[in-house]
Each structure stands twice: as C-alpha cells, then as structure tokens.
Structure 1
Amino acid sequence: MRLNRRWGWMWVPKIGHVLFRWTRDLPVGKHADKENRVTGARLVKEAAGWHVVFRVQSQAPEPAPHTGPTVGIDRGVTRPLALSDGTFRDHGPWLTHGEGERLRRLEKTKERRRRARRPGEKNSRRLTRTYDQIARLRATAKRRAVDWQHKITTEIAETFSRIGMEDLAITNMVRSARGTRETPGRNVRQKAGLNRAIAAEAWGRTVTMLECKSADRGGSVVKVPAPNTSRCCSACGLTTPGNRETQARFVCKNPGCGFEGNADTNAGRNIDRAAGQAVSGRGDFGVTRSTKRRPPTRPHAV
C-alpha cells in the first residue's frame, strides 16, 4: 500500500507492517490487473541495510527492430569501454579520496585485531564492527559501479542496433599466477593487481546488461572470439604482434598502410567488422549471437 509519494508499507508474515521507501511505480490498487500485478516480495539484508524486492509481472510488447548504427566495443582497465566510433566511456574511482583512506585504515585495523585473536576464539565486537564498516564502504563502491554501468549500457543500447563484444573467458583471465612449490609463478604481485582491476570493472555484468537492454529495444549483442582483435590492423587487415607499438598506441607495420591510432579504438573496429561477418564460430572471427527474446509476460525485480 502506498502512503504518500515517498513511503509505502507492506505486511510481512511473523514481522508485521514494514515501512519502505517507494523508489519505483508498482502495479497496485487500480493500476493492477491480471496481466500487470505484483506476484511476490522478499526482504534482503545487505551491507547498506535492509531492502524489499518486489516481483512484478507485466505485459511487454514485442520491440520493433532497431534501425541504429552498429558498434564494436573493446573492454579494458585503463579505458573501461572503447567504442569503434572513436569515443570512450570512462569513469572515476568508485570511492573518494577520503573514503579510500578510511578503507585503507580499516583494513589495517582488521588485520591487527585479527592477528590478536586466538585460534578458535570468537570474533570480538570491535573486530565485527570493523568488518561491518569495511562491508559498507565496499557496498557503496559497488552501488556506484552498478549505477554507472546501468547508465552507460542504457545509452549504448538505445543508440546502436548491433553491439559487438569480445567473447572473453574472464574466469581464466583472473586466475592467480602464484603457481606451485615445484614451479612457482613470476610477477605474482603484478598479476594480482591486474586481477583486482579486471574484477573491479565487472566486464561480465556489462555484457549481461547490454544483452537484456538491447533485446528490449530490438537490438542484439554479438560475441566474437578475442584472439588477434588487438593485433589486426582495422585499415588493411595485417595481423602481427609488432602492430601494438605501446599499450595505448597502434601503428601498422605494413609499408603500404601506415595506419596509426588508438589501440583500443582499432580493436573496437575489428570487433565491429567481425560481428557483421555471417560465418561460423570457427576461425579468428567466428560469431555468437545473443538476442535473449522474452515471452510476452516476464517478472522483473523492483
């Protein structure tokens, strides 16, 4: 039941009436019918507090085919999203300088109090409070990251009809380089830092959002194999490791071409071209289409 513009209340078994902040319109009262109605709800406890999630069934019309241009997107750490049209989608740090310093101090405090605990001893109240403070800061960073991803993926899905993405094995990319005692790894600390940077960008979540939003707008997401997308020249097609002059600069080694440009933009153009090739999944530029068509009625969380 809606009380006013900002607040509503619901009945929870074994708890009673619960007030909640109204953030999205729900089909309740005179706005509800057989095809548009609330079918369930649940309470979720997160680091930032309690939330109520409503399951809503609504009638979704079949979207018309998207008539916009196509694009290829290269995902990275320095530049999160590089589009084939030469533009970038960047973001700043998820935590401010003060929040980052506070998180660093809390991490040091956690380690100091954890080392002082005896084996098998229950966590002290201070250590538990420190864990909660760290979780709240990390939850804040995640909410800001998800908010940025929602805004960017909505803009991309509304602009482009076909979106090409690399089919990356992210789980394999973030594996530790520590190795074993017999064959220890090399550059373990550098690889660990790269793994944290890749995990912070949440590349898989970006693709999932694009697939859902593109399907709702009549577009599609096409995944292409990742090998040689950053080594191939988008102008002449020459593929050689020497083309990648630096991490950010691409210079074609073909004497008859001489193309120069941003390496991520060049990779995005190769991805866009590969997504438009109607070939099988074999070879350097195989294609896997993802449209995710939905039934006329579907539940979604609020």
Structure 2
Amino acid sequence: MKRQRGHKARLYLSPAQLPLVDDQGHGARAMWNLLHELWEMTPKCQRSLARMDEAIRQARKDIPWLKAVPAQAAQQVLKTYHRAWVNCWEGRAEAPTFKKRTSRRAVDIPQGRDLRITRLSRHWGQCWVPMVGLVRFRWTRDLPYGKRADKLNRVTGARLAKEANGWHIVFRVQTEVDEPKPHDGPITGIDRGISKPLALSDGTFREHGPWLTPGEAGRLKRLEQQRERQGRQRKPGERNSARLRRTYDQIKQLRARATRRALDWQHRTTTELADIFGIIGVEDLAIRNMVKAAKGTVEAPGTNVAQKRGLNRSISGEAWGRTVTFLEYKLADRGGYLIKVPAPNTSRRCSACGFITPGNRESQARFVCKADSCGYEANADTNAARNIEHAAGHVASGRGDLGDTRS
C-alpha cells in the first residue's frame, strides 16, 4: 500500500541565501492577503479560481517584490487559500483570515523533481530551492532520491517553514510498504488529563515534567515583563523598536524549545503505546469547544474567567488532539487501530458496577462508587480509562456501537 508521510529537517542557509528565503516567505504571506482582499471584495457570483489565478499573474507583473515568490509557489498559495475555504464550508475549520506580519511564514515547492536531493555525507544532505540555489540540510532520515526514487517511492514536494530557531524544510515522502499484519497486542483505554497527562486502564500513567527548566522558566518570565515595559514606550501605530523585536525573538525561542520537548515526549510515548497495544480507546472530545474563553459579553459577563483561562492554557499545553493523531497513524502502521468512544459519563460511571452519579467522583483525583453494594475505589483517571476500554472493547468485538458503553 502507499504511505505518505512528512519529514522535517533543519535548513542551513548561507548569509546570502537567508534574505532570499525571507523575501519569499513575506511575499507568500502578502499574496495570501491580496487574495483574501480580492475574495472579500468580489461578489459571490463572480468568485472563481480562474479569476484569482489571473489576479496573481497580474500582481507578479505589477508589484516587483512579489516576483521573489516562484511562480509555482504563488500558484500553491492560491490552491491553499481555496482549500481553506473548502474546509470552512465543510465544517472542518474556521474561515481564512488576514495574515499578520508576525504569522508563521511558509513557502511551497509543489514539484518533487525540482528539489534535486543529494546526500553529501552521513549527517548532511543538499536540495535545490527555486530562486535561492543549493541549500544544505541535516540528514536524519533516509529519503528516496536520485536513482533510488521511482513512481512508488519518491519525494512528491516540500514546504519551507520558518520556526523560531530558523528555516526548516518539510519533505512530502511517498513510499510503498507491505500491508501490516494484524496487531496481536491487548486492548487499553486512555484518559487524557492535566495532572496525569495519560492514564491507562491498567492503572499505569504516562507523565512528564515541566517543558522548561526552572532557570528557563524564570528567564521567560523576565523576558515577558521586559516585553511589557518596552511595549509601553511604543506609540500607537509606531513600528516595534529593535530591542522589542529582539525580546520577542528570545521569547519565541524559549517557547519553541518547550514545544520541541513536548513533541519529543509525545512521539516517544505514542510509539511505545502503539508497539504494546493493538487497540486503543480514547474519548471523542470536542477540544475546540473545551478551550473557549469564559469572559462572556458586557451584558452577560462570564464567571471564574481567570480560572478558565488557566485551564484552557493547560489543555492547550498538553495538545490532546496531537496525541490522538500520533496514535492513529502509528497504530495503523503496526496493524492496530484507534477507537473513539463518546465522552459523556466516562468520569462519573463506576467501572466495576456501572453505577452513574455525579457524587462518584469525590475529587479531581479520587473516585469512590456510591452504590450500596459496590464501594469501588480508584484513581479517577484510571476509572475513566477503564470505562473507555470497556466501550472500545464492545465496538471492537462487534457487540455494541459508539453509543453503547455498557451491555
């Protein structure tokens, strides 16, 4: 079967190449904003890809600095913008908006043959970036290139992305792999939380410490305070000073370091779980609704706004959705599969007798069944994970559907 994956590698640009790639990133962002303005101004009955394509071609002729964006990358901006609207119409995402200057910069290289990938040594590779030249990158995973590439195993394209620690390239790799054999591992349920990031139904937990050391966390706090002091000196409409920009960059680097550590932990943990278990059940959570602000309106102000803001920040920091995404494709590669079960009552139901009442969960960490004939006690997250495993087991065995959590 065909398998498509992305591979991210760090780019090492020369001093002469760096401004060229930066110009492409700013040009792609500006082209997105021009397309957005044209889309908003055009009557609905006249909106079409052909009209937008003609506008892009004319803009590259009339605006000199837009020529820094390669023609194929400019076409890809249009395709990405149109795809964003399709995702919005189908209910998968919000409507596309104007991109600020501080937004993440990215440039597409749609054709894999334009990359001309070669391996220089054990740790270094080289590829061609249009209108920039040959660029070195860190070789951390084998790629199908040159004579080793064919119709089934090849790099189909790439994207340049600007991160806090520099530019990276994300290769789109297509390979042919054998159909995986069914995973013979056991079934488990996983409850995602804050104090216990991942609680398994066997009573074990997968935990992590702070993403930043105490020294790094203290430095981040000082930089954020410094940013506020420097920002108060800026007049409305005035551009940020060089010192304020440098402070922003230092904050971005620390936060990006925390994100990289979180990603590393998630990859290691999900790989371990996918190797051990053949079926994993998780709650089907509407995370976007869970992290909505509670401030309300002027007429109906919200309650406990600060506490909800802290909870939202903690949920976003754990990246529950990304954990499920990693588990889903890693299980599929190993012949297992992921089952999403309904979330209601998983934390209030007793996993031993099935009794449901809000009083079962005595605290955030303690579960005690209030049924007269039961009295089961356990960690609240472990109890929820066992309910999830029970529901996933019914779905896997064909004895129930996603609406049945007990038989």
Structure 1 length as normaliser, TM-score? 0.91
Do residues 179 (structure 1) and 296 (structure 2) align? yes
Secondary structure class of the residue paired with 1:4: coil
1:88 to 2:205 alignment:
yes
Matched, 1:77 2:194: yes
Considering fraction of residues, name the structure with more helix.
2
Mapped partners of 2:200, 2:368: distance in 1: 18
Q: CA deviation at 1:30?
A: 4.4
Contact 2:153 2:174 in 1 (8 A): yes
Partner of 2:168: 51
Q: Is the 8 A contact 2:278 2:337 kept in 1?
A: yes
Matched, 1:243 2:360: yes
Query: Looking at CA atoms only, which structure, 1 or 2, has the larger radius of gyration?
Result: 2
Q: Provide the C-alpha distance between the structure 1 equivalents of 2:184 and 2:170, rounded to a whole number of angstroms.
A: 35
Alignment root-mean-square deviation, CA: 1.4
In the alignment, the residues of structure 1 paired with residue 381 and residue 186 of structure 2 have an alpha-carbon distance, to the nearest angstrom, of 19
State the Cα distance separating 1:17 from its structure 2 match: 1.6
Task: Tell me, yes or no, if structure 1 residue 104 matches structure 2 residue 221.
Answer: yes
Q: Is 1:168 aligned to residue 285 of structure 2? A: yes
CA-CA distance at 1:281 after TM superposition: 4.0
Q: How far off is 1:134 after superposition?
A: 0.8
Correspondence for 1:129: 246
Q: Deviations over 1:225-256 (max 9, x none)?
A: 11111111111111111111111111111221
Gaps of 5+ in 2: 1-117
1:43: how far off?
Answer: 2.3
1-side partners of 2:269 and 2:390: how far apart? 22
Q: Which runs of 5+ in 1 are unaligned?
A: 287-302
Secondary structure in 1 matching 2:119: coil
Identity %: 67
SS in 2 for 1:277: helix
C-alpha contact 2:347 2:384 (8 A) present in aligned 1? yes
Task: Give 1:210 deviation, angstroms.
Answer: 0.7
Residues 38-80 of structure 1 deviation map (CA, whole Å, 9 limit, x = unaligned) = 2323322111111122222210211111111000000000000
Contact in 1 for aligned 2:391/2:402 (Cα 8 Å)? no
Letter matched to residue 120 of structure 2 = L
Instruction: Return the letter of the residue paired with 2:342.
Output: P
CA distance in 2 between partners of 1:168 and 1:43 (Å): 32
- Report the Cα offset of residue 85 of structure 1: 0.5
**AA in 2 matched with 1:156:** L
- Say whether 1:155 aligns with 2:261: no
Query: Is 1:15–2:132 an aligned residue pair?
Result: yes
What's the CA shift for 1:116?
1.2
Q: Is the 8 A contact 2:183 2:335 kept in 1?
A: yes
Give the Cα separation in 1 of the matches to 2:160 and 2:250.
Answer: 22
Distance, in Å, in 1 between the alignment partners of 2:403 and 2:172 is 41
How many Å separate the matches in 2 of 1:11 and 1:75? 42
Aligned to 2:177: 60
Does residue 27 of the first structure (1) align with residue 148 of the second (2)? Answer: no
Residue 292 of structure 1 is matched in structure 2 by none
Contact 2:164 2:252 in 1 (8 A): yes
Residues of 1 paired with 2:173 and 2:163: CA distance?
21
- Greater fraction strand: 1
Q: Please name the residue that 1:261 is paired with.
A: 378
Q: How many residues align?
A: 285
- Residue in 2 that maps onto 1:116: 233
Instruction: Give 2:262's match in structure 1, choosing from 138, 141, 145.
Output: 145
1:299 alignment counterpart: none
Does 1 or 2 have the higher relative contact order (CA < 8 Å, sep 6+)?
1
